[in-house]
């Protein structure tokens, strides 16, 4: 066993196990919060993007383009340094809340684009049928279009969620105590690279496997037309 | 108002050569990584469609490992862990580590795209070519690949945007690319944090936006595979 101990020292990892578990929990709830928020705002962005009013859809399209063509790291820096300067109450947010704001702002356009393709994939007859039985535009969207659209877009939504979870690793740079931060803490205290970073990688792979299993359930439960055709 | 604009203009002019150096480095790293990673990914994707079960399994595991962990972790493992193993060959300097990690990361996406594009060509095409007396390799190179290469263009362009944006992460290991140059510039002018970051964002935008537009145009011209979605790092 000594060769294994030379390559990967279990005892040291054991000492830092609680740090890694805390980091994993933070990563999971952080990404879950961002997922819910960005999905919610993504619906609004998708509706804005499809609006016939030029002013409204241009704002949404501009927002989408700007976010999509700048790196997340720069957006994090801009929000981390910019929020306290621009907003009078910006100082109230701690690192974790800043992280949630930045990642939600970053993920919303992607979610919006996915939701937009989902809404466009619903046949026109559905909308016309709902209107002909007297549904208002809101009821139409809420009861008829969105349920079908969301069922159709489960595969890309799950892909985007996996990307979202990986993106949280960047928040170690602004000292959010998530999984990557746990690895960095262990490295700075023990200066052994192998155990710190390989353990971090393994923890991320564990979360990835968890998402794969959950997405299997989601596909079986919600799978719509687009999923079956694959 | 006027003197504020004048001061910002002065900052811009004095920092521009410095930041442009960083943009050049970003360009260099991204082009290296895109070339190497696309070649590797194309070969892997091709091997994956040949139908050897063990090979498909190994490549699938490779894809899961590289797509299931954040790029930051991969970079740290390649930059810190591999040299500490004590093998002479794996003693990377930071530039080599950056290129290798980014190429491997690119290849994981390109493999998926290649596989999807080859499967997207209808099976009748290959069967027709085989029944005309072409060998398996001939059918692949003269009939299937030309059609799938065309379908690969739009998703490849969106992946390239992802890779360009991922180069920002390289600033943590001290590659002097655009983000790193910006951080150094802020050390020189600590009063203009927001302004310098906005400048950097604009420069990334100028580099990425044409590629994104190209991806959109190509999707209209060459069609899309459908199952490969826009990925983000």
Task: Tell me if residue B205 falls in helix, strand or coil.
Answer: helix
Work out the pLDDT band at A74, boundaries 50, 70, 90. Answer: very high
What does residue B121 show for φ and ψ, rounded to 5 degrees? -75, 130
- Chain B partners within 8 Å of A82 (Cβ): 194, 197
Q: How many CB atoms lie within 10 A of CB A160?
A: 24
Q: Tell me the average pLDDT across B186-214.
A: 88
Question: Is the alpha carbon torsion for A93, A96, A102, A106 positive or negative?
Answer: negative
What percentage of residues in chain B have a pLDDT greater than 70? Answer: 96
Q: Is the pLDDT of residue B45 over 70?
A: yes
Work out the pLDDT band at A230, boundaries 50, 70, 90. Answer: very low
CB A46 within 8 A of CB A115: yes
Task: Give CA separation, A132 vs A135, A136, A143, A145, B212, in Å.
Answer: 7, 10, 14, 15, 40
Kindly identify which residue of chain B lies nearest to residue A226, measuring between CA atoms: B227
CATH number at residue A57: 1.10.3720.10
Which of B168, B170, B198, B200 is the mutation pick for testing A, counting most A CBs within 10 A? B168
What is the rounded distance in angstroms from the CA atom of residue B14 to the CA atom of residue B195? Answer: 13
Q: Tell me the average pLDDT across B168-191.
A: 88
What is the rounded distance in angstroms from the CA atom of residue A206 to the CA atom of residue A152? Answer: 27
Distance from CA of B133 to the nearest CA of A (A): 31
Q: Is the pLDDT of residue B230 over 50?
A: no
**What pLDDT shows up at residue B136?**
85
- Chain A partners within 8 Å of B84 (Cβ): 192-194
Q: Tell me the average pLDDT across A65-85.
A: 89
Which stretches within A50-133 are classed as H helix? Answer: 54-68, 72-86, 95-120, 124-132
Kindly identify which residue of chain A lies nearest to residue B228, measuring between CA atoms: A156
Mind listing the pLDDT tens digit for each residue in A98-141?
A: 899 999 999 999 999 999 999 888 888 888 888 899 888 888 88
Q: Is the pLDDT of residue B190 over 90?
A: no
Q: Is the pLDDT of residue B66 over 70?
A: yes
State whether B70 and A169 contact (CB < 8 Å): yes
Q: Which range marks the domain in which residue A190 is found?
A: 2-229
With CA atoms as reference, report the closest residue to B67 among B229, B215, B218: B229
Token code pair at residue B214: 């190209």
Q: Which of A7-11, A193-197, B63-67 has the highest mean pLDDT?
A: B63-67
**What pLDDT shows up at residue A84?**
80
Domain B2-222 CATH superfamily: MetI-like (1.10.3720.10)
**What pLDDT shows up at residue B228?**
43
Distance from CA of A140 to the nearest CA of B (A): 27
What is the rounded distance in angstroms from the CA atom of residue B44 to the CA atom of residue B60? Answer: 10
**What pLDDT shows up at residue A224?**
53
What is the rounded distance in angstroms from the CA atom of residue B32 to the CA atom of residue B153? Answer: 18
Which of A3, A69, A76 is the mutation pick for testing B, counting most B CBs within 10 A? A69
Mind listing the pLDDT tens digit for each residue in A17-72?
A: 888 999 999 999 999 999 999 999 999 999 999 888 889 999 999 999 999 999 99
How many Cα atoms occupy the beta-carbon half-sphere of B223 within 13 Å?
Answer: 9
Q: Is the pLDDT of residue B229 over 50?
A: no
What does residue B88 show for φ and ψ, rounded to 5 degrees? -60, -40
Question: Could you say which of A68, A81, A197 has the minimum Cβ distance to residue B193?
Answer: A81
**What pLDDT shows up at residue B232?**
38
State whether A65 and B212 contact (CB < 8 Å): yes
Which stretches within chain B are classed as H helix? Answer: 2-49, 53-68, 71-76, 94-120, 123-131, 136-138, 145-166, 178-188, 193-222
What percentage of residues in chain A have a pLDDT greater than 70? Answer: 93
Number of structural domains chain A divides into: 1
Token code pair at residue A144: 């008829």
**What pLDDT shows up at residue B233?**
35
Q: Is the pLDDT of residue A226 over 70?
A: no
Work out the pLDDT band at A1, boundaries 50, 70, 90. Answer: low
CB A153 within 8 A of CB A226: yes
Task: Tell me if residue B230 falls in helix, strand or coil.
Answer: coil
Distance from CA of A1 to the nearest CA of B (A): 18
**What pLDDT shows up at residue B107?**
94
Q: Which of residues 156-175 of A touch B (CB under 8 A)?
A: 156, 159-160, 162-163, 166-170, 172-173
What is the rounded distance in angstroms from the CA atom of residue A93 to the CA atom of residue A83? Answer: 9
Task: Give CA separation, B206 vs A83, A135, B34, B164, in Å.
Answer: 24, 45, 18, 12
What is the rounded distance in angstroms from the CA atom of residue A125 to the CA atom of residue B152? Answer: 33
Q: Is the pLDDT of residue A222 over 80?
A: no
CB A230 within 8 A of CB A155: yes
**What pLDDT shows up at residue A108?**
95
Computed over every residue of chain A, the mean pLDDT equals 86
**What pLDDT shows up at residue A223?**
58
């Amino acid at each position: 066993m000594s060769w294994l101990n030379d390559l990967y020292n279990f005892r040291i990892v054991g000492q830092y196990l609680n740090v890694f578990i805390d980091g994993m929990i933070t990563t999971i709830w952080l990404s879950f919060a961002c997922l819910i928020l960005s999905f919610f705002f993504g619906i609004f962005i998708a509706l804005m993007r499809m609006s016939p009013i030029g002013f409204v859809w241009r704002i949404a399209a501009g927002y989408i383009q700007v976010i999509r063509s700048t790196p997340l790291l720069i957006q994090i820096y801009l929000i981390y340094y910019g929020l306290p300067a621009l907003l009078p109450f910006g100082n109230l947010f701690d690192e974790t809340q800043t992280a949630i704001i930045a990642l939600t702002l970053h993920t919303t356009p992607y979610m919006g684009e996915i939701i937009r393709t989902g809404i466009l994939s619903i046949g026109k007859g559905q909308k016309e049928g709902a209107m002909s039985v007297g549904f208002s535009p809101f009821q139409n969207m809420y009861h008829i279009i969105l349920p079908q659209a969301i069922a159709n877009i489960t595969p890309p939504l799950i892909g985007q969620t996996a990307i979202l979870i990986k993106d949280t690793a960047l928040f170690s740079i602004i000292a959010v105590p998530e999984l990557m931060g746990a690895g960095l803490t262990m490295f700075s205290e023990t200066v052994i690279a192998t155990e710190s970073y390989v353990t971090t990688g393994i923890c991320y792979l564990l979360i990835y496997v968890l998402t794969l299993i959950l997405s299997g359930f989601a596909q079986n439960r919600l799978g719509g037309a687009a999923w079956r055709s694959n | 108002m006027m003197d504020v604009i004048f001061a910002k203009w002065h900052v811009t002019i004095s920092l521009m050569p410095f930041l442009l150096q960083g943009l050049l480095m970003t360009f260099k790293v991204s082009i290296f990584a895109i070339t190497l990673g696309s070649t590797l990914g194309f070969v892997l994707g091709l091997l994956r469609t040949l139908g050897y079960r063990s090979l498909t399994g190994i490549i699938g595991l490779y894809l899961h490992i590289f797509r299931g962990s954040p790029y930051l972790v991969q970079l740290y493992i390649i930059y810190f862990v591999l040299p500490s193993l004590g093998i002479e060959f794996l003693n990377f300097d930071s530039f080599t580590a950056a290129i290798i990690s980014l190429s491997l990361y690119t290849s994981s996406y390109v493999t998926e795209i290649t596989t999807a594009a080859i499967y997207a060509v209808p099976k009748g095409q290959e069967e027709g070519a085989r029944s005309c007396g072409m060998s398996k390799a001939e059918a692949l190179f003269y009939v299937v690949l030309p059609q799938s290469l065309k379908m690969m263009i739009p998703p490849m362009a969106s992946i390239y945007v992802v890779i360009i944006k991922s180069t920002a992460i390289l600033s943590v290991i001290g590659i002097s690319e655009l983000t790193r140059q910006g951080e150094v510039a802020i050390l020189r002018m600590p009063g203009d944090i927001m302004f310098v970051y906005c400048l950097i964002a604009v420069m990334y935008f100028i580099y990425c936006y044409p590629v994104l537009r190209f991806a959109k145009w190509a999707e209209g011209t060459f069609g899309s595979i459908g199952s490969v979605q826009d990925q983000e790092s």
